Structure 1
Amino acid sequence: MPRLKRMTREETLEARRLLAERAASGDLRLPEAVTAIRHTLGMTQEQFGKAFRLTRRQVSDLETGAGNPTAETLNRIAKPFGFAVGFVPRAPKPPPTG
């Protein structure tokens, strides 16, 4: 079974800091968040699925944006990183140029 290289403690802390920063700024979307969380944990999709009671296919769908997870599933994934599911205002669109 393929295995991702585990990050060092420093790399993990930096990855978590960057995730939190992007989430706070509203620049983090679900597919990339799930992938980043999984990589930070050093898990394959199958390992991640088992840890969070999902199938590998469900993890894949989440990471590609094709999934339709429940709030409960999202909270299970988010909890170890100190995230909570909620509404985040969109960044204002820049004014048209020209």
Structure 2
Amino acid sequence: MRQRVSKHVQPLTTGEQTTAINILTKRLMMEEITQGVALRELRVRVLGLRQDAYSALVGVSRKTLSEIENDKGNYTPEIINKVFKPFGLKVGLVPTSSQVLSAILLN
């Protein structure tokens, strides 16, 4: 059984999960939040899982997961892809200019 972050937090519906993933992905792409913050928010808000349960799910150590969520360490794209895979996300190229990215997202 997976350990939830809190027994008082109700799980999100599939639609709510999709909305939360989209919002956090956009904030990450617009550099409003870091990769670590995005991962922590996705893990907690979308799946509601504790670090130990999520690290077992994605096949990385809890220490690695903690370091990624705290924006520490320098992990390979393969590791980053593993931790973001449950949310349908992977490492990719994005414009470095937020103005260019905004224009792309608006079109």
**d(CA) in 2 for partners of 1:6 and 1:51?**
20
SS in structure 2 of the partner of residue 80 of structure 1: helix
Matched, 1:74 2:80: yes
**d(CA) in 2 for partners of 1:20 and 1:64?**
17
How does the TM-score come out when normalised to structure 1?
0.73
- 1:3 aligned partner: 4
Task: Determine if contact 2:34/2:71 at 8 Å carries over to the other structure.
Answer: no
- 1:88 aligned partner: 94
Instruction: Give runs of aligned pairs for residues 1-98 of structure 1, distance below 5 A.
Output: 3-4=4-5, 5-9=9-13, 10-39=15-44, 40-91=46-97
Aligned residue pair count? 92
Task: Determine if contact 2:25/2:38 at 8 Å carries over to the other structure.
Answer: no
Task: Determine if contact 1:6/1:41 at 8 Å carries over to the other structure.
Answer: no
RMSD of Structure 2 on Structure 1 (CA): 2.4
Larger mean CA deviation between 5-14 and 52-61 belongs to 5-14
**d(CA) in 1 for partners of 2:79 and 2:10?**
24
- Paired-residue identity, %: 29
Once the two structures are TM-superposed, the CA of residue 45 in structure 1 deviates from its matched residue by 0.6
How does the TM-score come out when normalised to structure 2?
0.68
Task: Determine if contact 2:11/2:48 at 8 Å carries over to the other structure.
Answer: yes
